[in-house]
Every structure is written in C-alpha cells, then in structure tokens.
Structure 1
C-alpha cells in the first residue's frame, strides 16, 4: 500500500544506469536491480529483485505462474508504487482469489520458507503444480531461427550486458515477443504476462530463454500452458525430471547450430 515515502510514477527508476568507473576516466552502462514487492489486496506476498521495466507484465505473469490467480480476469488492477527503497506492485484481485490466498497462508502459518519464488513451504510446490502440456510441432530449423533472432531482440542487454531474455516464438521459429530482466525467472514472468494480455494461443509456439534451464523455468512455462522450452545453456536434473512428468519438451544448449533434447 502507499506510504508517506511513496513517489510519483514519473520517478520510476530507469532499467539502465550510466555510472562512472573508479578513477573517473570512463563510464559504464549497467542494468538496474532493485527490490520489487508484490502485494495482493494490501497483503504482502513476495519480494523479488528485478529490473524496473515491463512491471505490469511482471505482476500479471508472476501472479499467474505462482497460482495466485487462474486467469487475467482475476486481476482487476495493478498499481506501480515507487518507494524510496524499491517498487511496490499493488495487485487488486477478485474476492474469491483473495480468500483462496488467505486460506493458503493460514494453512502454512508457522512453517519455514524454502526460498522458492512466491512459496512459503515446500509443501506448496505440489499445491501449484501445472497441468500436463503438449509440445507444438516445430518446423525444421525453428530453433536455429529463434536463436538467431534473440540477440537483436535484447535491446537492453545490447547496451550493458547482464540481462536475461525470454522470447515467445511461433512454430517456425519466428520471434514474436521478448522481455528482459536481470533475473531469468523474472524475464519469463514478464513474457508470460505479456502473452496473457495479448491472449496468445499457448499451443502454437514455444519459449526460448537465454539462460540455463532450471526447475523454475520449466514450472513457469507449463503454468503458462506452453509445451516446449528451449534454453541456450545447461539444464538441471530437477528441470529435466519436472519436464518429463509434465510432458513438456525440454531443449538445452540451443546455440551455435546445436541443440540437445532432454525431455
């Protein structure tokens, strides 16, 4: 909720900053990383470290991927509140979704946190499991075309480096939409939020990530109803296991004309 320290929307920090290097002889462009708190109907739910860009997409995608809401219609409003120590995304959801969130918090009261984004207990991992998904039928060369298109779509990363990208590609590998963030999972949440706003058909394409393939990325991809995740770096064992359980097609080391399918 707003506080006495709240600033105006015009004071939203930029996603990149130009800072002087030691000695003052040169300047360097760096990505901005700051705390972003997500509240639902005035109740604190999570605090993430993220890049202040595409925050409305981030709020919607995070809420969908963490199971706070089921559809974009459950999210009534998002207010971006710039505080002195970070940003608050104040989500307003329907009364039914608010009651479900309150019930979840009461059930888990007193348990220790596990560090998984948006969850307060390991027991919640299965509580927000996505439904099984079906992989699209890709055209020959689709992964190579998608990888070739990713770098030009990383506008912020081209200026400073250090940002991950999540991209939505159609079955031919044509890149349709991309989002960037210092956190790979944040970039994916932003992308999923943008797709939800556009009502993109999840079964007609795949997601390409500039990062390694982690459990979180597989889980969020499936929560979005997408059946194929391609990552440019290595997968983890839990990512592979989760993809196999969900029927999600997982590709990794998708770069330089190669790709390895793990699930």
Structure 2
C-alpha cells in the first residue's frame, strides 16, 4: 500500500456528461504525536516518515525532544500514533504543549504581532551568496522528487539544500507545515548542521514557516509562490532572508541579501 496517495473511483464530468473512472488522491489522516505522558499534539497529515515528522515538529515548534529518543509508530482505526518512548516532551521554557493542529494552522491563537516575534531566536549563522541558477536547479531537483504531487496534484513539498551543492532532503505531505517538519526531522536524524541550509517550498511562505525555520536554525527560505507581509517583517527582524517567486530569470529577495544592501524602504 502506498501511504502517499490512494486510488479511488470517481466520476469525470465533461460536456458530454459523466463517466466512471479513477483518480489518485493525497492521503490525509489523523496523526497523534505523543510521549510517555500521552498525546501532546494532533495533526492532519500524510502517514509517511512519521518518526521524522515527530522529531521535526518538536524541533520547529521549540520542544525539547532528544534526537536519540526511541520512537514507535502505532496504527489504529482512527489514525496513527507516533510516540517518543520513555521521554516527556516539554516546550522549552514553558509548560507541556496541548493543541490540535490542522494541515494549515498558522498562529491562530496568538494575541498580536509582538507576541509572534518575542519568542523567536535571532539567526546567528552565516549567509552565503546564492546564485539564481542554483536556486532554479535546486527547485528542479525537488520537483523530480515530488512523486506524490505528480500523482495527485495535491501535495506540498519542502526541501533542504546546502548552498552550492546538489544533495538534498525532499519530503511531501498534504500539509505544508508537515512537509517542513519531515524535512527538518530527517536532517536532525542524520545529524546534519542546519547552518547554510536553504529551505525550499513548493508554495508560498507565511509567518508560520519563517517561525519554524527560525527555531530550527535555518536562515534562508526560497519559495515558488508569494511571501506574506508578516513573513517578510519577521525575516528582517530575525536576520533571515526569503527568496519568493523564484523563476528562471528573476526572484524577489527579502531580508538579509548582501551586507551593503537594505531592502526595507
């Protein structure tokens, strides 16, 4: 069974009427993240790379899960449970998290912009020069690895690329946050340094992805879609950079681009 997508019977509608056929749909199910004290987060996600999803979610949300924690995946009638064995997950500096997150959560419970920025770390890593040709080549590499999207047209992808290199981590999920978490979790599991990694997104970049990147120690984000105002404001405040609308001959740079350039008129 392919957990990325499922083939189901559907009707196609044309000017000539309806016809019975089949289509591939992206898999979406309930995934509960838990530790020895029980469930602390419930996601709607695609049930692939679930240990990496747990590790990455904890990393990008500021939870103190050890990369060495033993992780078990359990399947039940109502979805999947991914558990960190003999370990209690706590939000760094705060009490234990308890929340339900959909495939596109954002910062729904935040009281305001200042609160969104107050608990995010400043990026202290280096910023290497990025060539537009390398960005486009990296997006082509990621596209070739988007097997779920090629079948369904309905899955997000996130990739982690080291500047100037072709080696990459590419993950897919029905939720763009989950795709990012899986990519980060894979990187953490492999013991790789986040410095000089670029996070590639198959869609847009909002505040939530900038926040996840900041907590993971990733200073550069590139996306084929748009960047929101709050994402731009946050990237500038944290010393990060975003390349949006990446195309063969042009991209929009926001934040720390070059030491002598300021992009905030």
Report TM bin, short chain: 0.7 to 0.9
Structure 1 contact 81–88 (Cα < 8 Å) conserved: yes
Aligned counterpart in structure 1 of residue 57 of structure 2, from 62, 65, 77: 62
Structure 2 contact 172–179 (Cα < 8 Å) conserved: yes
Q: Single out whichever of 228-237 and 76-85 deviates more from structure 2.
A: 76-85
Question: Is the aligned partner of 1:129 residue 2:124?
Answer: no
Structure 2 contact 55–185 (Cα < 8 Å) conserved: yes
Q: Deviation per CA, 1:190-249, whole angstroms, max 9, x where unpaired? A: 000000011112113211110100111111112111110001100111111111111111
Structure 1 contact 131–223 (Cα < 8 Å) conserved: no
Q: 1:170, 1:247 → 2: CA distance?
A: 19
Aligned counterpart in structure 2 of residue 53 of structure 1, from 39, 42, 48: 48
Instruction: Count residues with an aligned counterpart.
Output: 244
* Aligned residue in 2 for 1:3: none
Q: As a proportion of its length, which structure holds more helix?
A: 1
Q: Secondary structure at the match of 1:104?
A: coil
Within a 5 Å distance, the mapping from 1:171-182 to structure 2 comes to 171-172=163-164, 174-182=166-174
Aligned counterpart in structure 2 of residue 79 of structure 1, from 72, 77, 80: 72
Q: Secondary structure at the match of 1:218?
A: helix
Q: 2:63, 2:76 → 1: CA distance?
A: 24
Q: Single out whichever of 26-35 and 85-94 deviates more from structure 2.
A: 85-94
* Aligned residue in 2 for 1:236: 228
Q: TM-score, normalised by structure 2?
A: 0.81
User: In angstroms, what is the RMSD of aligned CA positions?
Assistant: 3.0
Q: CA deviation at 1:48?
A: 1.0
Question: Is the aligned partner of 1:20 residue 2:13?
Answer: no
Unaligned runs of 5+ in 2: 12-17, 256-265
Q: TM-score, normalised by structure 1?
A: 0.81
Q: Deviation per CA, 1:140-174, whole angstroms, max 9, x where unpaired? A: 32212112222101122111211111111121152
Q: CA deviation at 1:94?
A: 4.0
